[in-house]
Structure 1
């Protein structure tokens, strides 16, 4: 793991603590960050608060005003107070459902997730406002609020229906991730066995329909072949709403260099994820070794859960997980810039969708974004490129998608359907 140098000059002794963070930022650096993020909204590509609301709080959006409003059983990474502390100006809220849910049930559950986001925005009118366009993001940010849109996290959520896709857009979804952890009916996932070698013909039609209505094509979670097929099929820039550079951590969720090299001609953006498991190759290796040990203990101590638990506690004590710092996030950002350029990188923390204790120090909260900018300033980044990272790039992508949609206004809505399933052969 590449760690950032920690040597500082004597002037660095004059520090101001960032709110709710264990790290500090120099006063002049903080002023520079404040100036940049006042002019350009910091737009995060992926936050899983709706999933937490659904799974842990019986659909209630109450109690998210500040960190003092405690939520159980898990600590929250997001609340209104810390969003403002982190200078967040725009948020794509994920309307995720499990990849095992399909058909009409998937559509119903997705509508329930969309309802959570609309109720969340309504519950905090001084903090959040629904957006529809790139101009809305900038207008709402000027009012001191967080522009809010939705991202559908998996193509299984349309239930094979183009009509459902169109209605999600009408209700406020501005991207759809083509797959989640499992290969679906028309696209291969990065974390499942391939079925189509990328996109099926219906999958290509989905991408074209997304272009027509102005919905961003999100390639987080998809296989490299799906990435390439989607980039080839899309007239609009694609996004990776919460992904990292595979050259630095060989997790299948990350983006290979040959795909990064396609982004300048497509115009797309990779929005960097804060999960240590995607950032750190040592952590990825440790995680795999731990899973193997857990499987071994399960075999050795079948029917003895207390002994298995004790064995794993002992293993964890002897093999502490590798840690990461904000410099590792900066490393992924800079690698994407090295291959694709400053116009093709953004931020997509995946907060409240990753383990609370498995992100770099200070980055398990929406208040932590200034730490990334401070680290990049330390590395010599200029204000123009920092503004692109913050939100300038994703705003450009949104505007280009809007322009593509406008150019397709005379194209009729797609009536494509999934091919009928082949019936299983009858047994003799």
Structure 2
């Protein structure tokens, strides 16, 4: 974080002012001097776990979480968008009511986490909040909505979540809903539904960034065409790296860039996801980990890691990831690439298993010839630019 560089610089200045012979303190590593954000953090599913604390250090060997405050400092992840994720359910009044209750609860969980750690992390609403918190030496917590399904057919609820701090939201997740077609479902609306078009207009009115990850190609095209402001993909991979409908093709990345948006590169779907019956069961348990007793949480972790020994979820690794990142920059340009690895939501690959590995990405970008300024654009500048461009 920048505060590390400031402290080191202050130490060196003090040594000079006293006339001492102490050597000048070394400058902090490049990654540590940058403001680093990630646009899709699924960590809120851990916030209500019994016996689990975001302020504590956890290890991959004994816990499934990839993100906590100590490891944020290890990887110089200054913050990002903590997701209010809701699984897709039936498009009925009862389904909407249950989903809304879940989304409200998850939003409250994020607030409680921030309040419990207010000396270390603060809530952000606008781009300048992120810069201010970084100057203060605090981590940064934006909120996002992954899947707008909990809104039901009541778009006034967008204002409620805006007031709760949401500044990024996507219309859809893994299945079609009342707003749009998903990338991983059969077309129903051929893009946005009539209600989805109204959702988009309300998003623009409020100043919430539109997130096109999980959207079908037709939905993406319509989001891009109809939005008055630039949009993001909070956690997506390139289709040229792996031909999967969840991924974005290079032509659409160019179109996104042409309209000022940005694609935040994920670690998911760079290969087929190996979702065997055993893994599927563990994933189902993982989604409700906040309801499990500590003993059951530990057993889930043990079974997950045991399965990892014989069945990796993804076939790709860090080298594949960096090849895709560099290709995305080549296609979209340094002004239209960012990062959203899908930590705690299925992301992570061999060599980039949790956020402590983030400095390796910066190192590779520097080796590839990108300037410090361009690398910081990709880590945070492009995200904050899109956020600031929302007309509010």
Q: Above 0.5 in TM-score?
A: yes
Q: CA deviation at 1:83?
A: 0.7
User: Is the alpha carbon distance of 1:190 and 1:34 closer, same or farther for their aligned partners in structure 2, counting shifts above 3 Å?
Assistant: same
Report the equivalent of 2:177.
Answer: 184
Report the 3-state secondary structure (helix = DSSP H, G, I; strand = E; otherwise coil) of the residue aligned with 1:242.
strand
Identify which of 242, 253, 260 aligns with 1:260: 253
Report the 3-state secondary structure (helix = DSSP H, G, I; strand = E; otherwise coil) of the residue aligned with 2:29.
helix
User: Is the alpha carbon distance of 1:138 and 1:320 closer, same or farther for their aligned partners in structure 2, counting shifts above 3 Å?
Assistant: closer
Contact 2:152 2:178 in 1 (8 A): no
- What do the CA deviations read for 1:262-293 (whole angstroms, capped 9, x no partner)? 12231111111123xx12x3xx1x838x68xx
Q: CA deviation at 1:334?
A: 1.9
Report the equivalent of 1:89.
Answer: 78
TM-score between both structures, scaled by the size of structure 2: 0.79
Structure-2 separation of matches of 1:153 and 1:330: 25
Structure-1 separation of matches of 2:87 and 2:256: 29
Report the 3-state secondary structure (helix = DSSP H, G, I; strand = E; otherwise coil) of the residue aligned with 1:263.
helix
Contact 1:63 1:71 in 2 (8 A): no
Report the equivalent of 2:30.
Answer: 32
Identify which of 366, 378, 384 aligns with 1:395: 384
Q: CA deviation at 1:68?
A: 4.8
TM-score between both structures, scaled by the size of structure 1: 0.73
How many residue pairs match? The answer is: 335
For the aligned residue pairs, the C-alpha RMSD in angstroms reads 2.6
Q: CA deviation at 1:92?
A: 0.3
Q: After TM superposition, list the pairs within 5 Å mapping 1:327-406 onto structure 2.
A: 327-354=319-346, 359-401=348-390, 404-405=391-392
Structure-1 separation of matches of 2:78 and 2:222: 32
Contact 2:180 2:193 in 1 (8 A): yes
- Higher Cα Rg: structure 1 or 2? 1
Contact 2:180 2:192 in 1 (8 A): yes
Report the equivalent of 2:151.
Answer: 158
Report the equivalent of 1:134.
Answer: 127
- What do the CA deviations read for 1:118-169 (whole angstroms, capped 9, x no partner)? 0011111122100110000100011111111111110212112111111101
Q: CA deviation at 1:200?
A: 1.4
Report the 3-state secondary structure (helix = DSSP H, G, I; strand = E; otherwise coil) of the residue aligned with 1:45.
strand
Contact 1:327 1:375 in 2 (8 A): no
Q: After TM superposition, list the pairs within 5 Å mapping 1:23-422 onto structure 2.
A: 31-35=29-33, 37=34, 41-54=35-48, 57=49, 62-68=52-58, 74-100=63-89, 102-275=95-268, 278-279=269-270, 281=271, 284=272, 287=274, 323-354=315-346, 359-401=348-390, 404-405=391-392
Contact 1:183 1:192 in 2 (8 A): yes
Structure-2 separation of matches of 1:43 and 1:141: 11
